[in-house]
Amino acid sequence: MGRKLLLEHINVPGINTFDVYRSKGGYASVEKALKMTPEEIVEEVKKSGLRGRGGAGFPTGMKWSFLAKPEGVPRYLVCNGDESEPGTFKDRYLMTHIPHLLIEGMIVSSFALGANTSYIYLRGEMMPQVRILERAIAEAKAKGFLGKNILGTGYDLELYVQPGGGAYICGEETALLESLEGKRGNPRIKPPFPAIAGLYGCPTVVNNVESIAAVVPIINEGGDEYAKIGIGRSTGTKLISAGGNLKKPGVYEIELGLPVEEFIYSDEYCGGIANGKRLKAVVAGGSSVPILPANLILKTINNEARLMSYESLSDGGFVSGTMLGSGGFIAYDEDACIVRNTWNFARFYHHESCGQCSPCREGTGWMEKVLHRLEYGHGKMSDMDLLVDVSKKIEGNTICPLGDAAAWPVASAIRHFRDEFEWHVTNASEATSRNYGLAHYADPLKVVETSPL
């Protein structure tokens, strides 16, 4: 059984309260960190090899070291709790059941960065979690771990929870900062990066919920000890949101380097595919990463076992690899329709595009419409090449990564399951009738006389 660094006490009754959390060793990292220098804390995080758990996988300690430190200018730490990626729910789980772990991580991280005001930004729909965190913050403040002169050290920290408006785009760090400032959540053009000019134009670090929570065991055990867990440059543990056609969906904490096959079929984790079905495909890191068929998610191009790590999942690039991403692990059984699922993802990205960039604003709409007509029996054989072409015109041509996130699933689905897309063209009447008898669904593009399609 793998080590649990974040969820070890998740099932302890009352662990969401200060007293129970404290009795299990909670806030020990704060006491330890406040006796260290900020530079020593940053060095421990660097030694740990911790990589951002929100999807990008950028080394956390290195990101912290980029923070500008001009005299007389405040610095900010912002926790990105805008968890909106389809298939991802591990941050919400952590905040719901063990909120003090995040608050402890925020205190240590804020001290390391020299921030005296920090924010936890949550997706607007997460109002229960807002109330849970605010209650936990009040408890920590009453015990002297927040506010003025924390534990008599002279360090001050105010921590606030801010709900957003429910926009996926605010998961992008600069759009989040715009929203936090009270503006529309549009991504900013970079440079300058937030480390130089972030919240209110001041140096700012934005980290994911899980990334900040992981700072607690790093300080408690030391960066070198944390780095011994995992494999290669994928160190430590990772929370995985497991969903789809699995016997045991849920949130699991794994040691990075766990074989994908073991994660899917072991009774300790997902327990296999539900209803005795066969595995067809997996989206390994949330809806924004390339989908892989069963044979490629279980084996690399070198026929080695695929591992739950940043490097192993990406082996083969976008041709036969994928990404660990945010850890939104979605398994599809043999009966799942890849075309329908791809269309569903495309609907999401079209709806959530902020519209600032033309390739994303227009391209996501065209992809949704073409996939819609394929799914409902109005498709053409040329549609697959058209979708790939549109995805290429979006990828790499937008201010933020939402365009890439919309393009990759479509391109990879056609690459690996082109025969299924073609089936929807050659068996149009059957494709239409199986969609709940919705034969009246018209071709959404037929009325667009000037359409290039």
Residue 446: partners with Cβ closer than 8 Å, 6 or more residues away: 378
Query: Is the separation of the CB atoms in 45 and 60 below 8 Å?
Result: yes
pLDDT at 443: 46
**CA 391, CA 312: separation in Å to the nearest integer?**
25
Query: Is the separation of the CB atoms in 106 and 116 below 8 Å?
Result: no
Average pLDDT over every residue of 302-313 = 92
Does 436 have pLDDT greater than 60?
no
**CA 291, CA 304: separation in Å to the nearest integer?**
19
Does 440 have pLDDT greater than 60?
no
Q: How confident is the model at residue 451 (pLDDT cuts 50, 70, 90)?
A: very low
Cα angle value 423/436/328 (rounded, 5°): 70
Higher pLDDT, 107 or 435: 107
Q: Tell me phi and psi for residue 80, to 5 degrees.
A: -90, 100
**CA 64, CA 94: separation in Å to the nearest integer?**
23
Query: Is the separation of the CB atoms in 104 and 26 below 8 Å?
Result: yes
Average pLDDT over every residue of 356-375 = 96
Does 441 have pLDDT greater than 60?
no
The pTM of the full predicted model, rounded to 2 decimals, is: 0.92
Residue 88: partners with Cβ closer than 8 Å, 6 or more residues away: 241, 286, 326, 327, 328
Does 452 have pLDDT greater than 60?
no
Q: How confident is the model at residue 1 (pLDDT cuts 50, 70, 90)?
A: low
Q: Is 350 helix (H, G, I), strand (E, B) or coil?
A: helix
Q: Is 429 helix (H, G, I), strand (E, B) or coil?
A: helix
pLDDT at 311: 94
Query: Is the separation of the CB atoms in 26 and 105 below 8 Å?
Result: no
Q: Is 293 helix (H, G, I), strand (E, B) or coil?
A: strand
Question: Residue 345 corresponds to which tokens in the numbers above?
Answer: 């993802």
Q: How confident is the model at residue 301 (pLDDT cuts 50, 70, 90)?
A: confident
Q: How confident is the model at residue 430 (pLDDT cuts 50, 70, 90)?
A: confident
Does 229 have pLDDT greater than 50?
yes
The answer to which of 270-279, 367-376, 407-416, 437-446 has the lowest mean pLDDT is 437-446
Nearest to 390 by CA among 439, 315, 453, 302: 453
Kindly list the structural domains of the chain, giving each domain's residue range(s) and its CATH number in brackets, ordered by start.
18-228 (3.40.50.11540), 238-333 (3.10.20.600), 338-434 (1.20.1440.230)
DSSP one-letter string for 189-244: PSSSPTTTS-GGGS-EEEEEHHHHHHHHHHHHH-HHHHHTSEETTEESEEEEEEEE
Residue 86, preceding peptide bond in cis (omega within 30° of 0):
no
Specify the long-range contacts of residues 24-30, CB closer than 8 Å, at least 24 apart: 25/220, 26/100, 26/101, 26/104, 27/100, 27/104, 27/107, 27/140, 27/145, 28/220, 29/104, 29/105, 29/108, 29/215, 29/216, 29/217, 29/219, 29/220, 30/104, 30/107, 30/108, 30/145, 30/150, 30/151
| 374, 406, 426 from 380: Cα distances, Å | 7, 21, 9
**CA 402, CA 395: separation in Å to the nearest integer?**
9
Taken as a whole, the chain contains a residue count of 453
Question: Residue 260 corresponds to which tokens in the numbers above?
Answer: 């994908």
**CA 218, CA 222: separation in Å to the nearest integer?**
5
H helices then E strands: how many in the chain? 19, 11
**CA 357, CA 343: separation in Å to the nearest integer?**
21
Query: Is the separation of the CB atoms in 243 and 283 below 8 Å?
Result: no
DSSP one-letter string for 48-90: HT-B-TTTT--BHHHHHHT----TT---EEEEEE---STT--H
Nearest to 130 by CA among 139, 121, 138: 121
| 105, 142, 151, 155, 162 from 115: Cα distances, Å | 13, 20, 17, 10, 17
